[in-house]
């Protein structure tokens, strides 16, 4: 039944209903809509080829990658003005780009829109209300739920009414502290509906970290859930929230609590608590509030925040334009198809590609509350792809490595048919070639690495398959620069380096729509952090190189480049070599201090569960592998086998912490167990 609805949405045209909130006025005073590239003056109704129709943004003549990249570089205002027509505006912008201050470009100046209208309401008004918007698949609770666009509109508009009832208005910030449940997305969209920026924090974050963000963000309201569910255990959120409020000097006015079905109801002891179900029963639905294009949509605190909190501020207009454009041009999706970003809503991938981008583009998005392994087995990802008919999937290399470690032959995955899957994208960390090749073989589709950051909000480099780029790019590449990102590789003196020479990866200003607007309440730090070292460029703080054809290879963070006897070596390149060994499933290479060479590489390796070799033999083979692929200059001789590598919540290896661990002398205090 679901597949029939999707094909109907893709193959047929639908009528746009009138929406008084989203009619602009042109100079003559007549009603004027700007939507999906067509401008008509018919009292708010679209006229296309003699009828009123839904028109996909892919209806225009398809561009090639080279045409798009050249257009975004040489005629950027024209290029992004065209792209902006894939978004519904209530007031058309007066100027596409105001680049008076290159560090703080303003896109679509004078334009007004609403993100929630674009992500939800316009699809309902186009006659697509019965299409699934969200598929919530929760193996940790044993439940599945399909939410249509019409149901989503109802939930979000009523939740917006709850927020308004308790004082939230345009410009007020709301903190969201929830697990991977639809209610988290409802809250994001309800905030967007009102023009209230949200700050979604990874559910289960420690109370101290939550309190730091509350103090910095100063939310009018905090929204949470009773429990998060991890394999084999429940995480009680209310005690964490109450402890955070004790630690923070700022207190939100109220805390809205969603009680998860089938679990005991938990209330706040402080008296701040509001019951989600009770509030929703009497809620008055709210209409979308138009906001300026540069109005903040959300604040996302970067992982590993220390010292001054760094909350990336995302605008509304530029972000909507970029996300909608990428769904078809980077990922090659058509409206109505099922898309799954296997990430967490608390990270930038979750904001961009679980919530906003697929809904903007009219896709069905999968919200997965589970793990790649252990819920219940390494076949979990294959099941989700097969059962829900995903056309494309986005995940992290860490997830694929976890599956490979537990099921090297992908035996669990072979139980499922992936006949709708066309592509698999990976990002979040560098994907080694061995993992990439294993994924290609196991999932049976092209696996494409691409590179982006919390600050960019979408891909900086990618294989833009919607623009006709190859599905088989060179091994190890993260693709070519996405149109709008003028990527360069330079040395510390800001001179371009030769092809295949390791250097600093930077982006020439201005940054395209959707990139970070600033840091919350700290524009000065934003400028100092990203734009001071290389004036005129955005410093990605990543190191890598480009080849003769323009493909970009991300090797490591700039501070993960080690100096071995005067030779600059990337930890990523060394890890690539080590991971070629069939017994090694995960690896981190850090610099070990050496009195003669300055540093020598130390590999921390995780072996396959079923490996049979003598560890001493594995070490000798690894030394030879690195010597053959990198060369004797690597001086690679040291290997340490470990059961697992530490990972951040976003799946990255904390190499600087590992380097500190292996280079600092620690006093080990033994544990003493007393028996009564």
Q: Which residues contact 67 (CB under 8 A, 6 or more apart)?
A: none
Tell whether the model's pLDDT for residue 176 goes beyond 50: yes
Residue 652 is predicted with a pLDDT of 76
- 576 phi and psi, to 5 degrees? -55, -45
- What own/partner pairs with CB < 8 Å and gap ≥ 24 does 266-272 have? 266/226, 266/227, 266/236, 266/238, 267/238, 268/238, 268/241, 268/242, 269/242, 270/242, 270/245, 272/245
Residue 656 is predicted with a pLDDT of 79
Q: How far apart are the first and last CA of the chain?
A: 63
Residue 558 is predicted with a pLDDT of 65
Q: Mean pLDDT score of the chain, rounded to an integer?
A: 87
**Per-residue model confidence as pLDDT tens digits over 618-653:** 999 999 998 887 777 788 999 999 999 998 766 778
Q: How far apart are CA 280 and CA 278, in angstroms?
A: 6
Residue 62 is predicted with a pLDDT of 66
Residue 191 is predicted with a pLDDT of 99
What share of residues in the chain are helix, strand, coil (percent, to 5)?
30, 25, 40
| Structure tokens that stand for 203 in this block | 């559910």
Contact 559, 656 (CB under 8 A): yes
**H or E element in which residue 144 lies:** strand 143-148
* Residue range 569-579: mean pLDDT, rounded: 84
pTM > 0.85: no
- Strand 447-449 and strand 423-426: pairing? parallel
**Per-residue model confidence as pLDDT tens digits over 521-536:** 999 999 999 999 999 9
Residue 671 is predicted with a pLDDT of 55
Superfamily of domain 565-663: ANL, C-terminal domain (3.30.300.30)
- 393 phi and psi, to 5 degrees? -135, 145
| Structure tokens that stand for 160 in this block | 């917006």
Cα 262 from chain centroid (whole Å): 31
Q: How far apart are CA 11 and CA 6, in angstroms?
A: 9
Evaluate the omega torsion of the peptide bond into residue 510 and state whether it is cis, within 30 degrees of 0.
Answer: yes
Other beta carbons less than 10 A from residue 593's beta carbon: 13
For 235-268, the DSSP string reads: EEHHHHHHHHHHH-S---SEEEEEPPTTS-----
**Per-residue model confidence as pLDDT tens digits over 67-101:** 999 999 999 999 999 999 999 999 999 999 999 99
Domain boundaries, the chain: 565-663
Other beta carbons less than 10 A from residue 649's beta carbon: 13
**Per-residue model confidence as pLDDT tens digits over 481-518:** 999 999 999 999 999 999 999 999 999 999 999 999 99
Tell me what percent of the residues of the chain surpass a pLDDT of 90.
Answer: 72
Coil, helix or strand for 387? helix
Q: Which of 177, 400, 303 is nearest to 648 (CA)?
A: 303
Evaluate the omega torsion of the peptide bond into residue 151 and state whether it is cis, within 30 degrees of 0.
Answer: no
Q: Which of 329, 342, 309 is nearest to 210 (CA)?
A: 309
| Structure tokens that stand for 188 in this block | 């994001």
Q: How far apart are CA 328 and CA 435, in angstroms?
A: 26
Q: How far apart are CA 101 and CA 469, in angstroms?
A: 34
Q: How far apart are CA 492 and CA 641, in angstroms?
A: 35
Bridge partner residues of 273 (DSSP): 255
Tell whether the model's pLDDT for residue 148 goes beyond 90: yes
Q: How far apart are CA 358 and CA 453, in angstroms?
A: 19
Q: Which of 57-61, 206-210, 301-305 has the highest mean pLDDT?
A: 206-210
Q: Which of 513, 511, 73, 72 is nearest to 322 (CA)?
A: 513
- Would you give the DSSP letter of residue 528? H
343's torsion region: left (phi>0), alpha (psi -120 to 50) or beta? Answer: beta
Q: How far apart are CA 178 and CA 236, in angstroms?
A: 11
Q: How far apart are CA 415 and CA 483, in angstroms?
A: 39
Is the CA virtual torsion 651, 657, 661, 663 positive or negative? positive
Q: Which residues contact 595 (CB under 8 A, 6 or more apart)?
A: none
Q: How far apart are CA 367 and CA 291, in angstroms?
A: 28
- 58 phi and psi, to 5 degrees? -90, 5
Contact 13, 51 (CB under 8 A): yes
628 burial level (CB within 10 Å; 0-12, 13-18, 19+)? exposed
Considering only 233-237, 546-550, 564-568, 613-617, which range has the smallest mean pLDDT? 564-568
For 508-520, the DSSP string reads: ESSP-TTS--EET
- Would you give the DSSP letter of residue 497? P
For 267-318, the DSSP string reads: --TTS-EEEHHHHHHTPPP-PPPPEETTSEEEEEEPTT--SS--EEEEESHH
Contact 135, 117 (CB under 8 A): no
**H or E element in which residue 460 lies:** strand 459-462
| Structure tokens that stand for 261 in this block | 């079905």
Longest CA–CA separation in the chain, Å: 89
Considering only 6-15, 226-235, 548-557, 578-587, which range has the smallest mean pLDDT? 6-15
Residue 4 is predicted with a pLDDT of 35
Cα 617 from chain centroid (whole Å): 40
């Amino acid at each position: 039944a679901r597949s029939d609805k999707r094909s109907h949405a893709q193959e047929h045209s639908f009528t746009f209903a009138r929406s008084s909130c989203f009619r602009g006025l042109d100079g003559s005073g007549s009603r004027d809509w700007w939507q999906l590239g067509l401008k008509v003056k018919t009292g708010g109704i679209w006229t296309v080829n003699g009828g009123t129709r839904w028109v996909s943004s892919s209806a225009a003549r398809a561009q090639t990658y080279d045409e798009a990249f050249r257009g975004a570089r040489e005629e950027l205002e024209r290029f992004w003005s065209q792209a902006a027509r894939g978004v519904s505006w209530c007031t058309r912008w007066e100027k596409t780009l105001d680049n008076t201050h290159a560090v703080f470009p303003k896109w679509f100046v004078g334009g007004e829109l609403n993100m929630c209208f674009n992500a939800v309401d316009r699809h309902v008004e186009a006659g697509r209300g019965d299409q699934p918007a969200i598929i919530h698949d929760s193996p940790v609770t044993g439940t599945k739920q399909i939410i249509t666009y019409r149901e989503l509109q109802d939930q979000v508009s009523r939740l917006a009414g709850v927020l308004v009832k308790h004082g939230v208005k345009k410009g007020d910030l709301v903190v969201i502290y929830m697990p991977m449940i639809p209610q988290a997305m409802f809250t994001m969209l309800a905030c967007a509906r009102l023009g209230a920026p949200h700050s979604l924090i990874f559910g289960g974050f420690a109370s101290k970290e939550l309190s730091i963000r509350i103090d910095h963000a100063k939310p009018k309201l905090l929204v949470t859930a009773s429990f998060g569910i991890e394999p084999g255990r429940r995480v009680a959120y209310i005690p964490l929230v109450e402890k955070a409020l004790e630690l923070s000097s700022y207190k939100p006015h109220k805390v809205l609590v969603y009680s998860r079905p089938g679990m005991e109801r938990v209330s706040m002891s402080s008296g701040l608590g509001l019951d989600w179900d009770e509030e929703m029963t009497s809620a008055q639905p709210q209409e979308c509030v138009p906001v300026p294009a540069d109005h903040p949509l959300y604040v996302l605190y970067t992982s590993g925040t220390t010292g001054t909190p760094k909350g990336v501020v995302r605008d509304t207009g530029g972000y909507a334009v970029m996300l909608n454009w990428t769904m078809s041009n980077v990922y090659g999706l058509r409206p109505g198809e099922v898309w799954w970003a296997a990430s967490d809503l608390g990270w930038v991938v979750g904001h961009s590609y679980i919530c906003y981008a697929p809904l903007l583009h009219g896709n069905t998005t999968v919200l997965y509350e589970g793990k790649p392994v252990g819920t219940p087995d390494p076949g979990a990802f294959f099941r989700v792809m097969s059962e829900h008919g995903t056309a494309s999937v986005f995940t992290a290399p860490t997830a694929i490595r976890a599956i490979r470690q537990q099921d090297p032959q992908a035996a669990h995955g072979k139980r499922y048919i992936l006949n709708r899957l066309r592509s698999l994208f990976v990002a979040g960390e560098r994907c080694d070639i061995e993992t990439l090749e294993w994924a290609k073989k196991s999932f049976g589709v092209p696996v494409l690495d691409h590179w982006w950051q919390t600050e960019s909000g979408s891909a900086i480099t990618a294989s833009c398959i919607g623009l006709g780029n190859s599905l088989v790019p060179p091994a190890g590449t993260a693709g070519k620069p996405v149109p709008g990102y003028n990527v360069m590789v330079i040395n510390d003196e800001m001179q371009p380096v030769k092809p295949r020479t390791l250097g600093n990866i930077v982006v020439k200003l201005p940054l395209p729509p959707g990139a970070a607007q600033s840091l919350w309440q700290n524009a000065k730090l934003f400028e100092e952090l990203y734009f001071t070292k290389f004036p005129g460029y955005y410093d990605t703080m990543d190191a890598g190189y480009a080849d003769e054809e323009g493909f970009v290879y991300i090797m490591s963070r700039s501070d993960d480049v080690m100096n071995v006897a005067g030779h600059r070596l990337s930890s990523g390149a060394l890890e690539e070599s080590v991971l070629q060994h069939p017994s090694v499933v995960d690896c981190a290479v850090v610099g070990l201090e050496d009195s003669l060479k300055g540093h020598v590489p130390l590999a921390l390796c995780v072996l396959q569960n079923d490996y049979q070799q003598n560890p001493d033999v594995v070490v000798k083979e690894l030394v030879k592998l690195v010597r053959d692929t990198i060369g004797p200059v690597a001086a690679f001789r040291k290997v340490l086998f470990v059961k697992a590598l530490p990972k951040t919540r976003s799946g990255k290896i904390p190499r600087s912490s590992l380097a500190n661990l292996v280079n600092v002398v620690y006093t080990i205090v033994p544990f003493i167990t007393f028996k009564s």
